[in-house]
Amino acid sequence: MKLDRAIRRVIPSTARLTYNPLFKVLINSLDLLPNCMYEEFSRIPPNHMRVRVGVGNRIFANQIFYLNEARDFWTHAFHAGLFRLDSTIVDIGCGCGRFAHPLRDYQFKYETFSGRYVGIDIDEEMLNWCRANFDRTRFEFYRSEHASKAYNTKGGNDAYYELPLENSSADLVFSSSLFTHLLEKEIVNYCRESCRVLKPGCSMAMFCFSMDHPPPTFGDRHTFRFKTGNARVESLAVPEAAVAYEEKFLFQTARDAGFQTAEMLVGPQDWQPVLLCRK
């Protein structure tokens, strides 16, 4: 863990490291023994993809983190009535399926996830892994056209990306750590598109960095000392590496997009509060 933290302090975006071929070989080689010992580990993405989507500083041993990360979100979302097992769910910034795999594997007696899961991401490598490892009857994966220095992708930052869904067709739109990597123009884009595709009365839930509720690492690993528009960023060289906003801006953006309500769900020592908006 100390080595993990040291790497994160020195390098603004660990995600960028995962595109380096030598780094890929190094961290993926650490999967060989655990995959032989535990069958469930062999069904998850290679380590360089897990690190790319975030592993809570556990760069070298993060299989359990990957498997457990989505558990509490789905428990809350089901309890709060944000989705059902037959819902249409949109996951923006789906990465390598970290939040999709619990629904793929869920089975209690004859009960399974029978809805539609639409994953959006800018990383073609991770999207291809998802397409190869999730059944196409329930899971679809599409590439966004936005660019990102942190995720080594080129595209049209000025382009307005339209989600591949009809108006008022989705029950839940969410992201686990999308707004933490988006600049202002993309935040506005995805708020508007989320509202467009949601059914009336349904919700958007976006994990984010909030300047009103900074993470426990604020002042140490995170400072958000640079300002660009309404965004506060950690690095001007790689602005998408870590992005924070004030709640006032996020709430106003949600209202301008057409949402009726907007609130921030915050827990003790919270790294990323959730912006919850209802159409």
pLDDT, residue 174, reads 98
User: ∠207-234-71 over CA atoms, to 5°?
Assistant: 25
Rounded to whole angstroms, how far apart are CA atoms 231 and 59? Answer: 27
What would the mean pLDDT of 13-35 be, rounded to a whole number?
87
Under a CB-based contact definition with an 8 Å cutoff, are residues 38 and 67 in contact? no
Domain limits, the chain = 2-66, 71-278
Q: Is the pLDDT of residue 28 over 60?
A: yes
**Beta-bridge mates of residue 233:** 226, 243
Q: Model confidence over 102-150: pLDDT tens digits?
A: 999 999 999 999 999 999 999 999 999 999 999 999 999 999 976 555 4
pLDDT, residue 11, reads 53
pLDDT, residue 6, reads 55
- Burial of 32 (C-beta count, 10 Å sphere; 0-12/13-18/19+): exposed
Task: Please name the CATH architecture into which domain 71-278 falls.
Answer: 3-Layer(aba) Sandwich (3.40)
pTM: 0.90
Give me the chain's average pLDDT, please. Answer: 90
Q: Is the pLDDT of residue 9 over 70?
A: no
Length of the chain in residues, anyone?
Answer: 279
Q: Model confidence over 221-272: pLDDT tens digits?
A: 788 899 999 999 988 988 888 899 999 999 999 999 999 999 999 999 888 9
